[in-house]
Amino acid sequence: METETLLLNMGPVHPSTHGVLRFKLRMDGEIIRDCQIVVGYLHRGTEKFGEMKTYLQFIPYTDRLDYIAAMPNNYAYVKAVEELAGIEVPQRAEYIRVLVMELNRVINHLVFMGSLLLDLGASTMIMYGFRERENALQLYESLCGARMTFNYIRPGGVREDLPDGFIPKLNEFIKDMEKRIVDYEELVNGNEIFLMRMKNIGVINAEEAINYGMTGPSMRGSGVDHDIRKLEPYSIYQDLDFKACMRREGDSYARYLVRVDEIRESLHILKQIVDKLPKGNTINQRYGFAPNTGAPSAVTSYFPRIFTPAEGEVYSRIEAPKGELGFFVASDGTTKPYRVKIRSPSFCNLVALPKMVLGLKIPDLIAAFGTIDIVLGDVDR
Amino acid sequence: MNSAEELKYLLPNSVVSVGVQTNKPQAVIRKEDFLKVAEKVKELGYDNLSVITGVDRVDRIEVIYNLFSYKKKQNLALKVVLDHRSPEVDSVTSIWKVADWLERETYDLVGVKFNGHPDLKRILLPEGWIGHPLRKDYDMNTEQFVTIGEDGEDIVSPDGSNLLRRK
């Protein structure tokens, strides 16, 4: 029966939009017939700032993109600058970088699990997720003084060496998380309400997922195992043993399970790093110095404030917790980048959402949207 | 033969030159043939469009497409050079769906017009914003004020006349 459609506005301020995002929905009864996404409420002009700040000054701005997992943002930008200028990185610094990035992947997926379950009406998981996240944030705090906006990774290395007692605390965290993750799976995975909300909701097949620009765990829920850490190994990933987690179903539940598996893989990587962590410098000696005095207030390493790479363009990408995070940096041989372009995973993953939710109901939109795992700071930049 | 040279070999008339974008092969494409080249590139297996970047080079505007083939595990960058006064290029939304938002973003911030895009409007900035911020000649000193009207659409004014001021 033909009925009149209703235009329904959802957001910009809505608890399940994880920030400020607006859906314009055309509803036929309870069925979504059309979904338009309006973004940009959190636009801060980060790319313009990139042109106005020096290479070093821009690093803190990258923290504010995906603020749940800021370390990969730092690294992606620094990696682009390093490729542009041909800066080498000492092995210990590479290990520390991967350590902090994988720890951030764990944090990101914990927040994902918590907020997804909260959107679906279960408030226990977010308490658990944030409890474990707190332990990891304290590790970061001891490392660089910040809990979320780190400003830690520098071209040529990292800002400071690991503090005393970091590794034992990290070991404790890994051991704790390995036990907790089993609890979470018992709590969530078999829950009948959860399964009914997630299974066969928001299905997208592999070909479409790639064509719509989905990357990261959201794409790997659709039966492809493309992971940039495997496709184009950067840093030390070729020396580490891990697998790209993948599920075939392509629905919300598959995307959720991929992330749970990734927590395990990240913990596995962290354990290897603890075993293999080499001694040595934490920053390229050509650019700074790193006397490990042990005193917390001592300047441990720095990168020159005035830094001029040669003219050129580079696009460099990494596997961030949410997907492919890339920085395009163009240099004109001055102290400031000529152009900085951020390819953010959240922005591109959102493109596929309207396709995924056609013919579903509004609660399903929230479930599918939750499993894409976006952060609005990353979408709007 | 890298991926850009391969493209030059297949389409000698459309590819102006080949080079590198630091460590990725790059081909500069004639802007008139861009859609044709993009279709060919998709046929060659480049299924992932990573990013579209617009760069204002003052005398010209460059648009750079970074592509990746999951099958061949190869990178390819395409570049088109556009006229600064009226930068226009064919849209590739029919080939890669993700181009929809990437092109809207490039239109919004750099001011490149993509012919054939189904819904080319601003995405990050509100409709009615004056200027394209990532142009080098963008006026940074003029403030613009944004409010949301009763129908939910954005209203932009450079003098703040749309704001509710306390009398």
Segment A268-273 shows an average pLDDT of 91
Nearest to A40 among B51, B53, B124 (CB): B124
Any A CB within 8 A of B64 CB: yes
Q: Among all chains, which residue has been given the structure tokens 């939750």?
A: A370
- Express each pLDDT in A172-222 by its tens digit: 999 999 999 998 888 888 888 888 888 888 888 888 889 998 998 988 988
Nearest to A315 among B77, B101, B125 (CB): B77
Cβ neighbours around A311 below 10 Å, total? 12
Contact A45 B53 (CB under 8 A): no
Q: Which residues of A touch B125 (CB under 8 A)?
A: 40, 43
CA B105 → CA A361, B78, B102, distances in Å? 29, 18, 5
pTM equals 0.89
- The pLDDT of residue B107 is 92
- Express each pLDDT in A278-318 by its tens digit: 887 777 766 655 445 554 444 445 666 777 888 888 999 99
Nearest to B47 among A22, A211, A313 (CB): A211
Q: Cis peptide before A12, with omega less than 30 degrees from 0?
A: yes
Contact A210 B70 (CB under 8 A): yes
Contact A315 B73 (CB under 8 A): no
- The pLDDT of residue A309 is 83
Strand B74-83's sheet: what is its strand order?
Answer: B15-21, B24-29, B74-83, B60-69, B48-56
CA A255 → CA A41, A85, B25, B28, distances in Å? 27, 37, 33, 38
CATH topology of domain A46-339: Cytochrome-c3 Hydrogenase; chain B (1.10.645)
- DSSP per-residue letters across A92-149: HHHHHHHHHHHHHHHHHHHHHHHHHHHHTT--HHHHHHHHHHHHHHHHHHHHHS-SS-
The domain locations on chain A are 46-339
Count Cβ neighbours within 10 Å for each residue of A259-281 and write b for 16 or more, e otherwise. Answer: bbbbbbbbbbbbebbbeeeeeeb
ipTM for this model? 0.87
- The pLDDT of residue A248 is 87
End-to-end CA distance of chain A: 44
| Pairing of the two strands B113-115 and B145-148 | unpaired
Size of interface A-B (CB pairs under 8 A): 93
Nearest to B50 among A45, A224, A324 (CB): A324
Q: How near does any CA of chain B get to the CA of A216, in Å?
A: 12
Q: Which two tokens stand for residue B53?
A: 């970047």
Chain A residue closest to B70 (CA)? A226
Contact B101 A348 (CB under 8 A): yes
- Express each pLDDT in B97-153 by its tens digit: 899 999 999 999 998 999 988 988 889 888 888 889 998 888 888 888 888 777 777
Count Cβ neighbours within 10 Å for each residue of B101-125 and write b for 16 or more, e otherwise. Answer: bbbbbbbbbbbbebeebeebebbbb
Any A CB within 8 A of B156 CB: no
pLDDT band at A104 (very low <50, low <70, confident <90, very high): very high
Q: Which residues of B touch A232 (CB under 8 A)?
A: 73
Contact B124 A43 (CB under 8 A): yes
Contact A351 B123 (CB under 8 A): no
The candidate with the shortest Cα–Cα distance to B110, out of B64, B47, B159, is B64
The candidate with the shortest Cα–Cα distance to A188, out of A371, A7, A378, is A371
